[in-house]
């Protein structure tokens, strides 16, 4: 668990102001995959700053072609998990934003029961990203679900 203060985590708009429903609606509005990729990249540009001090092995997500780090903090008051994710690759940052929009600011029980595969199916996402990016996306999701299981 990160030593970063909870306010830093809660400042993220993902999971609160930007949620999976918003992303699905945007995908339905956009005509083609070129526009959808641009949208995903723009989401990634909106990720909150990730502390350099947290780019350590303990926070590194293996299974991604790119470098990806994830940190979390549990708010004992509202019993919700708050997440921050960072990547060195622009499209992966966008995929990380989708993960945050889906899982951030949820209780561990909500995270464990979310059908993220159904979301990706509605988005037709897995079919339109490379297999290595798909594996990386699944690795991010597995890490979030493991964190939820342990909290």
**CA of residue 57 relative to chain centroid, distance:** 19
Q: Would residue 125 count as lying in a domain? A: yes
Q: Which domain holds residue 57?
A: 6-149
Asked if the structure places residue 130 within a domain, the reply is yes
Residue 64 falls in the annotated catalytic set: yes
> What six digits make up the tokens of 41?
């990249």
Averaged confidence pLDDT in the chain:
90
- How many folded domains does the chain comprise? 1
The span from the CA of 111 to the CA of 102, in Å, is 9
1 located within any domain: no
At 21, which CATH number? 3.90.1010.10
Run of H or E including 69: strand 68-75
Q: Is residue 23 part of a domain?
A: yes
**Predicted local distance difference test score (pLDDT) of residue 1:** 54
pLDDT tens, residue by residue, 36-83: 999 999 999 999 999 999 999 999 998 877 899 999 999 999 999 999
Output 97-100 pairs: Cβ under 8 A, ≥24 positions apart: 97/14, 97/18, 97/40, 97/43, 97/44, 97/46, 97/47, 98/20, 98/23, 98/40, 98/43, 98/125, 98/137, 99/137, 99/140, 99/141, 99/144, 100/12, 100/14, 100/15, 100/47
Q: Is residue 74 part of a domain?
A: yes
Q: What confidence score (pLDDT) does residue 2 get?
A: 57
- Which residue, chain included where needed, has tokens 């996306």? 137
Give a yes or no: residue 83 inside a domain: yes
Q: What's the pTM?
A: 0.91
- Give me the pLDDT at residue 45, please: 95
Q: Which of 23, 43, 47, 64 is catalytic?
A: 64
């Amino acid at each position: 668990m990160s030593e970063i203060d909870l306010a830093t985590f809660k400042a993220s708009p993902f999971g609160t102001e930007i949620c999976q429903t918003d992303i699905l609606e945007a995908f339905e509005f956009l005509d083609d995959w070129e526009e959808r990729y641009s949208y995903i990249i723009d989401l990634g540009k909106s990720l909150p700053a990730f502390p350099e001090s947290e780019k350590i092995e303990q926070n590194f997500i293996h299974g991604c072609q790119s470098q990806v780090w994830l940190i979390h903090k549990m708010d004992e008051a509202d019993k919700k998990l708050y997440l921050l994710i960072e990547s060195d690759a622009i499209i992966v940052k966008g995929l990380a934003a989708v993960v945050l929009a889906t899982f951030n600011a949820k209780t561990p029980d909500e995270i464990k029961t979310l059908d993220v595969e159904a979301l990706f199916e509605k988005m037709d996402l897995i079919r339109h990203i490379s297999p290595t990016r798909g594996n990386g996306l699944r690795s991010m999701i597995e890490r979030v679900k493991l964190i939820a299981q342990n909290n």
